[in-house]
Amino acid sequence: MTPLFGANLVAMVTPMRPGGAISEPGLAALVDHLLSTGCDGLVVGGTTGESPTLTEAEAVELVATVAKRVAGRARVIAGVGTYDTAASVRRARAAAAAGADALLLVCPYYSRPTQAGVVAHCRTVADATTLPVMLYDVPARTGVAMTEATLVELAGHPRIRAVKDAKGDLREAMSVMAASSLAYYCGIDELNLPYLACGATGLVSVVGNVAADRTAALIEAVRAGDLDTARAVNASLLPLVDTMLGTAQGAVMAKVALADRGIIPHATVRPPLLEAAR
């Protein structure tokens, strides 16, 4: 049975032309590449998609363009989270109207709300549409972690169905999985194998932009209980993980890797990110 959000998800970059405008040809080529290499879920307008630099109009057009190109061949998960609940509600409703299959909702950043505030924010956004919601727990970026109690409480909402975990606390992840029906997705490429081995449903991968065939093989090997193959696939991915995530921001290096392979025409990023020297 295919998981609600898919299993082999990629945190898509947003292809851009020199000067920073979104490149529709680049977007089409990237979607085709990801589908052909085994993605069953595309996360659009997330961190790797440079979401803080996207206007609301650009964010909805991005979802619409990707959803049209995908044409039902994979799940389209739209990043809609901001530090403003009202803005997140607007983005959620716009993404639903544009054809998204699900929403990715980051813990509110910068404002540093209490856990009660996090719960209220997530419930309000989840109430705004009928789409399933994947929470995104990434305290290194937001400044606030979703606690175990908060995650279990939010699991009681009928549309909050999954977590993209970029916290890296395996003990907590296993505890929440045991105490709730939330599907876990590893959001830290360095830890893909241990998360899958601990029961995660799948991955939201940055390196999947250029190696989705291998992340698919990793998932399949763990599902089959073939840990020798899983370790071998994981070992083959580690140099790519180190290069793409250990030298600069993931969005920057993923675009470099895609441009070097001729999949997108340019490695342009928007300030304050800077394009990597090549």
**pLDDT per position as a tens digit, 146-156:** 999 999 999 99
Average pLDDT of the chain? 96
pLDDT tens-place string over residues 251-264: 999 999 999 999 99
Buried b / exposed e over 199-229, threshold 16 CB at 10 Å, is ebbbbbbbbbbbbbebbbbbbbbbeeeeeee
CATH fold for the domain made of 8-260: TIM Barrel (3.20.20)
Query: 3-class SS at 75?
Result: strand
pLDDT value at 8 more than 90: yes
What is the pLDDT averaged over residues 235-250?
A: 91
**What is the model's pTM?**
0.96
pLDDT value at 278 more than 70: no
pLDDT tens-place string over residues 124-139: 999 999 999 999 999 9
Dig out the tokens for 208 from the structure. 């999947």
- Lookup result for tokens 């899958």: 196
Query: What is residue 3's predicted lDDT score, i.e. its pLDDT?
Result: 86
pLDDT value at 2 more than 80: no
Quick check: 41 and 6 in contact, CB under 8 A? yes
pLDDT value at 246 more than 90: no
Query: What is residue 1's predicted lDDT score, i.e. its pLDDT?
Result: 66
**Domain ranges, ordered by start, for the chain:** 8-260
Selection from 135, 100, 95, 96 nearest residue 119 by Cα? 135
pLDDT tens-place string over residues 67-125: 999 999 999 999 999 999 999 999 999 999 999 999 999 999 999 999 999 999 999 99
Query: What is residue 277's predicted lDDT score, i.e. its pLDDT?
Result: 76
Dig out the tokens for 209 from the structure. 């932009």
Query: What is residue 51's predicted lDDT score, i.e. its pLDDT?
Result: 96
- Give the active site residues: 136, 164
pLDDT value at 191 more than 90: yes
As beta bridge partners, residue 76 has: 42
Query: What is residue 104's predicted lDDT score, i.e. its pLDDT?
Result: 98
pLDDT value at 26 more than 80: yes
Query: What is residue 193's predicted lDDT score, i.e. its pLDDT?
Result: 98
